[in-house]
């Protein structure tokens, strides 16, 4: 019976899994899922896969499938229709305990350039047979080995393959984490390898991190570094961009890959990452349909990683903390296909040329100098909305690549054994902008490093940590959600640990880090952590953002008792604005309201909702000039001691009100306007609803069409 039409029925080969068990210490036994229970299906999930190569491929594709609240109850099992598949829940659950997200592995047959949509249904077929390596993979793993090497001024240093743990195990895929320190350096590598059932190539993700608590060094110089692998041919994605030097491929011998050959250094807690595939082949071993297997390998090398996109994201209500996918721009006439294909072509052109620098900024996400003023790509209530709205997966590759740059931000602290530092294990470690706080009285735990830190931006190759006012992680969270990448999950968890260690509570610490800072800092940090909770299900971050609202934001909300205006924060006179007295910023309040709303959505905190409404309605009634021929949001507005509204004469005077001449700042306030409108609907306040609708309608009327047919920044603020 051909493996293209059915799974083999044989048992797991003891030799193949024996090798994996030896590498990873032990194998976890999967429990059987319970009986399928009938539910009312309000959404018909499906997933789209696209083969962006001229070769037929028969391989495991992966995707995240969202489920509406109540659809997937405990004990249910789901599957892809007519193809071998496995769905595994992950991330936060819905309030009723039902599954919100599931990882899908589906073995799909795709013709060259084929676009295929596969239905997802409640399981009617038996579960998959136990995991089994392909014959080519099994044979090659008998001699498989890996070494990471670093050249420094003191010589060549190598670290062998050391298994750390099994990260995931199922009938369709099996992931092992390897971790080891490079001798005589402050460096360590981490390698995730994901094997798929009866597939001749595995996915890998590789990270190099500088960090060693027992070392007083801040920098680790290197002359070059890379890795060598035996009995597998490595393919590093975007190799041209990384300027990688690889040896001629050897099926059974050693293959070397020089990842970096320009002398430089890594700063403490700074990482770099790469990802790709290990290919296994053995001409002397007979397998089913060898040409199809070879074509699949060619497709994986010459085309895209086989990610899929669920088609039910908008209907599921599961995307991000607000559960909203932005509507397609009115100029999309083909469902976003042209946009997806064009973006993918440009991504291939971009990554087909060597980067200007190893440390160069990539198109998406936050800039290397995160505290830099002005707009940044990551800002919004969501990112990657174009992917889930169009359901075309082309841009997932680009998002995965771009978020990989976050490894270069120097906040990846590790213990002596190489495990990531957890804030709960270091109550005296208090961070600020992604580093140990500059005061050792605030952060007496320095993770083994001396004080003071000799910080200069070029120490970390011009990468800096997120400061509170620019802490935005939309692209990171959404990219992890769509890829379930192990390396990107490390980034999300790093972001969470830095938040937990830097956003303290009065009930546990009497520190300056209890302060909420600027209004935009309130909004951006809370929104980022709400996103992270949704994609990870980590209860510690969910609890912390709820506690921060109760213990910090509610207490420090300066304008809450105002007669009319109720800004979260107002500021002392500042020569950068025209207002000559205490003032508040409309666009900052808009960002704050969105973050508070996100906390309410994911924690149910009534305080968060009340504060979001107070902030948003205050902005609605006092932050807009309501001139529909020149609609503006306030950049700075005077705050009188009792919060009394300004008179028309005062609103017309730059000494009292400065109006922003920025379309972007208006867009930043779309979420707050929607919050105020929703509240007006809830309490039956038609005047509030009408005012909010007037603003939103005017902003939509002035939205500029993208002549190239692209997704625009406006849409990223619509997800509420």
| Out of 17-31, 324-338, 372-386, 504-518, least confident range | 17-31
pLDDT at residue 458, rounded to an integer: 81
Torsion of CA 31, 34, 36, 42, to 10 degrees: -70
Quote the Cα angle for 282-288-293, to 5°: 60
Instruction: Judge whether 341 and 328 are in contact, CB under 8 Å.
Output: no
| pLDDT for the residue 294 | 86
Q: What is the pLDDT of residue 43?
A: 67
Q: What's the rounded mean pLDDT across residues 157-169? A: 98
pLDDT of 12 above 90 = no
pLDDT at residue 288, rounded to an integer: 74
Q: Write out 247-267 in H/E/C secondary structure.
A: CCCCCCCEEEEEEECCCEEEE
Q: Is the separation of the CB atoms in 500 and 540 below 8 Å?
A: yes
User: pLDDT digit string (tens) for 457-501?
Assistant: 689 999 999 999 999 999 999 999 999 999 999 999 999 999 999
Average pLDDT along the chain: 92
Question: In 3D, which of 180, 161, 276 has the Cα closest to residue 228?
Answer: 161
Kindly list the distances between the CA atom of residue 555 and the CA atoms of 256, 509, 611, in Å, as whole numbers in the listed order: 58, 15, 11
- How far from 192 is each of 138, 202, 640, CA to CA, in Å? 18, 10, 57
Asked whether residue 32 carries a pLDDT value surpassing 70, the answer given is no
pLDDT reported for residue 527: 98
Q: Work out whether the CA dihedral 489, 492, 496, 502 comes out positive or negative.
A: positive
For residue 314, count other CB atoms closer than 10 A to its CB: 20
What's the angle, vertex CA 500, arms to CA 496 and CA 501, rounded to 5?
A: 115
C-alpha pair distances (Å), 323 with each of 130, 503, 618, 667: 35, 26, 25, 19
Task: Give 282 or 523, the one with higher predicted confidence.
Answer: 523
- Integer Cα distance of 24 and 347 in angstroms: 36
| Residues 158-165, mean pLDDT to the nearest whole number | 98
Residue 82 contacts residue 462 (beta carbons within 8 Å): no
Q: How many helices (H) and strands (E) does the chain have?
A: 19, 25
Q: Is the pLDDT score of 41 beyond 80? A: no
Share of the chain above pLDDT 70, in %: 94
Structure tokens at 267: 């700063």
Query: What is the distance between the alpha carbons of residues 80 and 712, in angstroms, rounded to a whole number?
Result: 33
Residue 27 has pLDDT above 80, yes or no: no
Query: How far are the Cα atoms of 219, 266, 453 from residue 456, in angstroms, in the given order?
Result: 12, 13, 9
What's the rounded Cα separation, in Å, for the pair 488 and 500?
A: 19
Q: Which whole number is the average pLDDT over 622-647?
A: 97
Q: What is the pLDDT of residues 398-456, one digit of tens each?
A: 999 999 999 999 999 999 999 999 999 999 999 999 999 999 999 999 999 999 999 77
């Amino acid at each position: 019976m051909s493996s293209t039409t059915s799974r083999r029925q044989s048992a797991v080969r003891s030799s193949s899994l024996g090798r994996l068990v030896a590498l990873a210490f032990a194998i976890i036994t999967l429990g059987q899922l319970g009986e399928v229970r009938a539910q009312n299906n309000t959404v018909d999930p499906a997933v789209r896969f696209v083969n962006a190569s001229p070769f037929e491929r028969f391989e495991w594709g992966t995707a995240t499938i969202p489920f509406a609240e109540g659809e997937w109850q405990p004990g249910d099992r789901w599957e892809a229709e007519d193809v071998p598949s496995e769905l595994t829940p992950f991330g936060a659950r819905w309030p009723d305990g039902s599954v919100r997200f599931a990882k899908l592995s589906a073995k799909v047959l795709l013709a060259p350039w084929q676009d295929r949509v596969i239905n997802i249904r409640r399981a009617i077929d038996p579960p998959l047979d136990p995991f089994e390596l392909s014959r080519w993979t099994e044979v090659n793993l008998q001699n498989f080995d890996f070494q990471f090497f670093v050249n420094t001024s003191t010589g060549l240093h190598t670290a062998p393959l050391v298994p750390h743990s099994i990260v995931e195990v199922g009938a369709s895929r099996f992931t092992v984490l390897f971790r080891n320190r490079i001798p005589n350096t402050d460096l360590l590598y981490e390698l995730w390898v994901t094997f798929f059932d009866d597939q001749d190539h595995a996915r890998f993700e590789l990270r190099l991190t500088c960090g060693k608590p027992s070392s007083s060094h801040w920098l680790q110089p290197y002359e070059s570094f890379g890795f060598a692998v035996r009995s597998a041919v490595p393919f590093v994605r975007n190799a041209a961009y990384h300027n990688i030097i690889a040896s001629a491929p050897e099926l059974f011998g050693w293959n070397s890959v020089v990842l970096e050959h320009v002398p430089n250094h890594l700063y403490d807690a700074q990482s770099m990452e790469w990802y790709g595939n290990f290919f296994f082949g053995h001409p002397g071993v007979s397998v089913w349909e060898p040409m199809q297997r070879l074509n699949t390998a060619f497709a994986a090398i010459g085309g895209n990683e086989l990610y899929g996109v669920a088609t039910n994201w908008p209907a599921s209500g599961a995307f991000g903390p607000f559960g909203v996918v932005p509507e397609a721009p009115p100029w999309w006439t083909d469902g976003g296909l042209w946009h997806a294909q064009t973006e993918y072509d440009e991504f291939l052109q971009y990554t087909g040329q060597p980067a200007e620098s190893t440390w160069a900024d990539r198109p998406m996400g936050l800039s290397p100098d995160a505290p830099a003023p002005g707009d940044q790509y990551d800002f919004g209530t969501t990112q990657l909305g174009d992917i889930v709205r169009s359901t075309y997966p082309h841009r997932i590759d680009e998002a995965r690549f771009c978020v990989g740059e976050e490894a270069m931000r120097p906040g990846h602290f590790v213990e002596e054994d190489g495990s990531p530092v957890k804030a709960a294990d270091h109550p005296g470690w208090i961070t600020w902008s992604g580093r140990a706080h500059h005061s050792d009285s605030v952060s007496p735990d320095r993770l083994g490093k001396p004080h003071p830190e000799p910080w200069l931006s070029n120490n970390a190759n011009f990468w800096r940590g997120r400061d509170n006012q620019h802490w935005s992680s939309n692209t990171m969270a959404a990219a992890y959600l769509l890829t379930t990448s192990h390396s990107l999950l490390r980034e999300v968890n790093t972001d969470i640990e830095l938040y937990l260690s830097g956003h303290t509570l009065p009930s546990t610490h009497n520190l300056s880090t209890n302060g909420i800072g600027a209004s935009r800092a309130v909004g951006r940090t809370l929104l980022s952590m709400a996103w992270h909770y949704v994609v990870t299900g980590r209860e510690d971050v969910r609890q912390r953002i709820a506690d921060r609202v109760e213990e910090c934001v509610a207490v420090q909300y300066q304008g809450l008792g105002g007669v009319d205006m109720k800004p979260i924060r107002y500021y002392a006179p500042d020569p950068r604005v025209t207002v000559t007295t205490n003032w508040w910023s409309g666009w900052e309040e808009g960002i704050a309201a969105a973050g508070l709303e996100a906390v309410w959505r994911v924690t149910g905190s009534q305080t968060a909702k009340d504060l979001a409404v107070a902030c948003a309605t205050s902005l609605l009634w006092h932050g807009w000039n309501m001139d529909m021929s020149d609609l503006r949001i306030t950049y700075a507005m005077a705050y009188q001691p009792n919060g009394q509204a300004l008179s028309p004469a005062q609103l017309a005077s730059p000494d009292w009100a400065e109006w922003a001449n920025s379309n972007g700042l208006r867009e930043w306030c779309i979420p707050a306007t929607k919050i105020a409108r929703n509240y007006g609907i809830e309490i039956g306040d038609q005047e509030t609803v009408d005012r909010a609708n007037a603003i939103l309608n005017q902003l939509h009327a002035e939205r500029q069409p993208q002549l190239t047919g692209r997704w625009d920044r406006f849409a990223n603020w619509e997800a509420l």
